[in-house]
A and B are shown apart, each in its own frame.
Chain A
């Protein structure tokens, strides 16, 4: 029953009551979101703003000391390595994740569900546990090297961990679900009738895939890639444990600087620099891709 269908409700009193009802409902909704807003405001924006401020101060006065300190070759290398590893992990996750997400999108819901469980179980396992597991698998006398040597494929153990290789393997494993889940969600919604139409018009399966299916899956590719890239930038535990000291990412340097120098400014400056560079990359990417589609914009 709507207001229009009942003349009695169109009287002023009722309209006012309805408006009051609506206002109450809005107030309730707003009230319910207050705790979340407060938490975000108090726990995220104020401290981050404060750290931002600290990065521009030295003692009590404004200063660029902390930024001057990070403008050296060591920090350049650390930033470069952080972005390089993150990009590499993103590309590898896409190469490994896409076929699986594609397969899952073509399976019956039952089999897709089973596949999903195999993706999710590691996802639910502690990051630390998985990192240590890789250590055990990849080390000099670990399962991988032992097996390869027993099979006579190699004579000397391969250096698979405590270096760049180990870091990328460990991060890739942890990041894969973050790629597969958004990809799968996007690929599932692609209408396969387009593919049939393409085949009908004479396209080979490969051509139909690249000209029809792949472009339609781009939102998933972008969402997954961004998620993996951003999360990789902030990685700490995995490179610290699997990098063997050779791999130093920005987060590790932030931790080191917070302990080594007298105030938080030194570490804040690194955080701000990472944020600015990341936003810069986005800005460049947004010139070529429609990133805003991710947030539901058109």
Chain B
């Protein structure tokens, strides 16, 4: 289908913040459910549906496998999917996504690592170093080198049971500069992992588990997603964290190949990625916009900026995960990780 004047006028109407009734129709948006999808609904889906005069149905998924299954079976029911960073890059490489139309989608203010030909980042989250404030008081661990320092920072520890993110952490602990992390020096990273393995009490696998570990006092310090730690702190747990040497990662939005309403989805995607809508996100959940322009609109409060994983000051001290590197090396690294973890 060609882009018709009606679609162009919708984009125009959006640019002026008006409510336009352009293309009518329905698309299906699929994400990870829970508090995250609730926030996406309020921040992105409802404004987009209203502006475009369309209905946005929702579904949930757990990752790339379901998207792959739909595309390979030729029975795609989803128009827009939310995927983790490594899945986005893998899906692009496998050819199960539609190419994005950058004539309608603007990526102004995006970091180069935050979009690609077939996907665009929608939120930043960060894997941060968090710790029990009751135990460490005024001198908590502030870097991964501190985390590895079991003499001066005794306590139970936990890291995530995946190579993505964790190997970056090992290299940072070993003194590699944040801008020299990629391509990963695997020998060095695994050698550093050997040093800490006997001091890791739990290798966590799910976000909920990591939150439980710090909330129950099962561990005293761990790597954890910033949003999970915020939720723990909101529940009254005395825990703290630092963005220093955090590993910033993205969730992306993409259109599965053969999506039933591809053109409408492309347009809706353009709206969701625009700074005006992304700026809504922090008031519902503490994930960061992927375009720095979102911080210039005055929608995000100073308090939210201070704790946002993608606020310029916070992003500056973090490493942004290189999705392309991981897409190319994921399988080989995973085998090596399995060998390490099962030893």
Contacts and interface: CB of A to CB of B under 8 A. Distances in A.
Contacts of A74: 335, 338-339, 342
B205 A245 contact: yes
Nearest to A69: B335
Interface stretch (B121-129, B196-204, B299-307): B196-204
A75 to B, nearest CB: 8
A260 B329 CA distance: 11
A262 B161 CA distance: 21
B184 to A, nearest CB: 17
Contacts of A269: none
Contacts of A256: 334, 338
| Interface size bracket, A side | 20 to 34
A159 B157 CA distance: 13
Contacts, number: 56
Contacts of B204: 245
Nearest to B161: A245
Contacts of B334: 256, 260
A72 B342 CA distance: 12
Interface in B121-161: 156, 161
Contact of B63 (A77, A140, A245, A259): A259
Given A74-B335, A141-B216, A260-B330, A245 B203 contact: yes
Contact of A72 (B64, B205, B331, B335): B335
A185 interface: no
A140 B338 contact: no
B94 interface: yes
Category for how many chain B residues contact A: 20 to 34
B218 A246 contact: no
Interface string B57-81: 0000001110010000000000000
B217 interface: yes
B3 interface: no
A90 interface: no
B218 A140 contact: yes
Contacts of B202: 162, 244-245
A253 B334 CA distance: 11
Contacts of A72: 335, 339
30 contacts: A73-B339, A74-B335, A74-B338, A77-B343, A78-B338, A81-B342, A139-B216, A140-B217, A140-B218, A141-B217, A141-B218, A162-B218, A240-B205, A241-B209, A244-B201, A244-B202, A244-B203, A245-B204, A245-B205, A245-B341, A246-B203, A246-B341, A248-B338, A248-B341, A253-B338, A256-B334, A256-B338, A260-B331, A260-B334, A262-B68
Pairs of residues from A and B, 9 with the lowest C-beta to C-beta distance, nearest first = A245-B203, A245-B161, A162-B202, A244-B202, A74-B339, A74-B338, A77-B342, A259-B65, A141-B217
Interface of A: 72-74, 77-78, 81, 139-141, 159, 162, 240-241, 244-246, 248, 253, 256, 258-262
